[in-house]
Amino acid sequence: MTNKMWGGRFQSGPDAIMEEINASIGFDKRLFRQDISGSKAHASMLAKQGIISKSDAAEIRKGLVQVQGEIEAGTFTFSRALEDIHLNVESRLKDIIGPAAGRLHTARSRNDQVALDFRLYVRDTVDHFDAQLQGLQVALAEKAEVHAATIMPGFTHLQVAQPVTFGHHMLAYVEMLARDRSRLADARRRMNENPLGAAALAGTSFPIDRHDTAKALGFDRPTRNSLDTVADRDFVLETLSACAICAIHLSRLAEEIVIWSTSQFRFVKLSDKFTTGSSIMPQKRNPDAAELVRAKPGRIIGALTALLTVMKGLPLTYSKDMQEDKEPAFDAFDNMSLAIAAATGMVKDMVPNEAEMRKAAASGFSTATDLADWLVRTLKLPFREAHHVTGSLVALAETEGCDLPELSLSLMHSVEPRITKDIYKVLTVENSVASRVSFGGTAPKNVKREAKRWLKLLKA
């Protein structure tokens, strides 16, 4: 038996294997809202242009509302024989309103229909991500405001480098997420063109109004080339690319939470909400949520790589290869949303251990740069010479088994006789962070001001 929606050219039905590989309804049924919205806009435009009657358009709209209600209620029966969401909706519409349903596909192809549905879906997804990322930024900025002066070690090579503040560290992720939102906004702006009306690939001979459907569906304008329109999946690639970069940022945050919550660091504590236990070791509190967020980029980068590989080398215009665009993207988008939600929850939940962080910040000769800066500023040494003197003092402190603030003035004089007792004022971690007043620096007053600025922007 042929597919009654398109089978006039065919004398028999597809092989079972052909039906298995060809059907997409198992995953593209999630596009039902976008598909029905596009059909409503198309029917309305057809009636305005006199291509179908207003009464048929009204029946079509009424039937589509019923179809959407059935799908949302879970009473709709999806058919694999009808291949995809487009034919499933149209077939049910025909059951409801009769032959008038057949007029809906006038001046339209499944090629521009799927381009429309997927574009609408990705646009909705981008808007969802933007709201989620804004929420994560707020959580980070609020934590930064509270801990603007909470001292922790800053690291390079995962070695203690210089003292910073926990608030400053949180704001670093706010900046990353701002770039992520900007990339998603750029992708949204480029995708916000209406593909409906490109038809199969060449446009249509009917006097359609693509500007009307663009306006009805919230697009800025129609696409300008019908061939490119049905062949294009850049909007998915761009969004997946932005998601991959964002997922890497989330993974870096998650990795730090994993490290910070170890018994070796003890910088933060997560509650039972975002940790799990062990089936054999009763003392364990495992940061599983953070570890899973850390792992999510693998799936998201994989989806991007998969679609890049599918699209590579495809001739214009549409090829069935492009049906492989959705499953990996849907999986990536679902996991992206889950990762953002988990990261937001952990940021709100984690409690910094201020004593441990300050203790760690004061270790590893973290104020050595402050000492070198003092030599430049006070003794007028060239920085390279000051760097050498400071290195010698660090080596001396290592020999003495102490940190720089504990090194006696007489021992310091053995390296540089002009050093005065004022040096000790710059060797505390509090003075170190307070001195970093340059724009973008970690000084608590900078951090407080920047956190307030971000919160004002984010909550506006």
How confident is the model over 254-263, as a mean pLDDT? 96
How confident is the model over 23-46, as a mean pLDDT? 96
Given a contact cutoff of 8 angstroms between Cβ atoms, the answer to whether 237 and 311 are in contact is yes
Q: What tokens appear for 416 in the block?
A: 């540089």
pLDDT higher at 194 or 272: 194
Given a contact cutoff of 8 angstroms between Cβ atoms, the answer to whether 19 and 29 are in contact is no
In DSSP terms, which residues pair with 160 in a beta bridge?
155
| Predicted local confidence at residue 285, as pLDDT | 80
User: Which listed residue (278, 319, 363, 414) is catalytic?
Assistant: 278
Q: Is 156 strand, coil or helix?
A: strand
Mean pLDDT for the chain? 94
How confident is the model over 199-222, as a mean pLDDT? 98
Instruction: Say whether pLDDT at 96 is over 50.
Output: yes
Range from 9-18, 124-133, 418-427 carrying the lowest mean pLDDT: 9-18
Instruction: Say whether pLDDT at 14 is over 80.
Output: no
Task: State the Cα–Cα distance between residues 88 and 67, nearest whole angstrom.
Answer: 10
157 is catalytic: yes
The model's pLDDT over 388-434, given as tens digits with 9 standing for 90+, comes to 999 999 999 999 999 999 999 999 999 999 999 999 999 999 999 99
Instruction: Say whether pLDDT at 5 is over 60.
Output: no
211 is catalytic: no
User: Which listed residue (12, 157, 410, 438) is catalytic?
Assistant: 157
The model's pLDDT over 286-326, given as tens digits with 9 standing for 90+, comes to 899 999 999 999 999 999 999 999 999 999 999 999 999 99
| Predicted local confidence at residue 3, as pLDDT | 58
Instruction: Please give the helix or strand (H or E) that residue 164 lies within, else none.
Output: strand 159-165
Task: State the Cα–Cα distance between residues 57 and 456, nearest whole angstrom.
Answer: 47
Which amino acid is present at 286? Answer: N
Instruction: Say whether pLDDT at 386 is over 90.
Output: yes
E runs forming strands in 299-451: 351-352
Given a contact cutoff of 8 angstroms between Cβ atoms, the answer to whether 422 and 441 are in contact is no
Give Rg (Cα) of the chain: 31
**φ, ψ for residue 413, nearest 5 deg:** -65, -25
Task: State the Cα–Cα distance between residues 236 and 115, nearest whole angstrom.
Answer: 11
Which amino acid is present at 321? Answer: D
| Predicted local confidence at residue 382, as pLDDT | 96
End-to-end Cα, the chain, rounded Å: 59
| Predicted local confidence at residue 280, as pLDDT | 73
Which pTM value belongs to this model?
0.92
Give the torsion through C-alpha atoms of 391, 394, 399, 404, to 10 deg: 160
* Structure-token match 């991959």, residue found: 244
376 — pLDDT class (breaks 50, 70, 90): very high
Task: State the Cα–Cα distance between residues 260 and 251, nearest whole angstrom.
Answer: 14
Task: State the Cα–Cα distance between residues 174 and 142, nearest whole angstrom.
Answer: 11
> Measured between alpha carbons, how far is residue 371 from residues 232, 246, 374, 404, 431 in Å?
58, 38, 5, 9, 11
How confident is the model over 31-37, as a mean pLDDT? 98
Instruction: Say whether pLDDT at 1 is over 50.
Output: no
Instruction: Say whether pLDDT at 29 is over 70.
Output: yes
The model's pLDDT over 232-258, given as tens digits with 9 standing for 90+, comes to 999 999 999 999 999 999 999 999 999
Range from 16-20, 228-232, 271-275, 389-393 carrying the lowest mean pLDDT: 16-20
Task: State the Cα–Cα distance between residues 442 and 153, nearest whole angstrom.
Answer: 11
Q: At what angle do helices 234-260 and 288-295 cross, to 10 degrees?
A: 150
Task: State the Cα–Cα distance between residues 239 and 246, nearest whole angstrom.
Answer: 10
| Predicted local confidence at residue 9, as pLDDT | 59
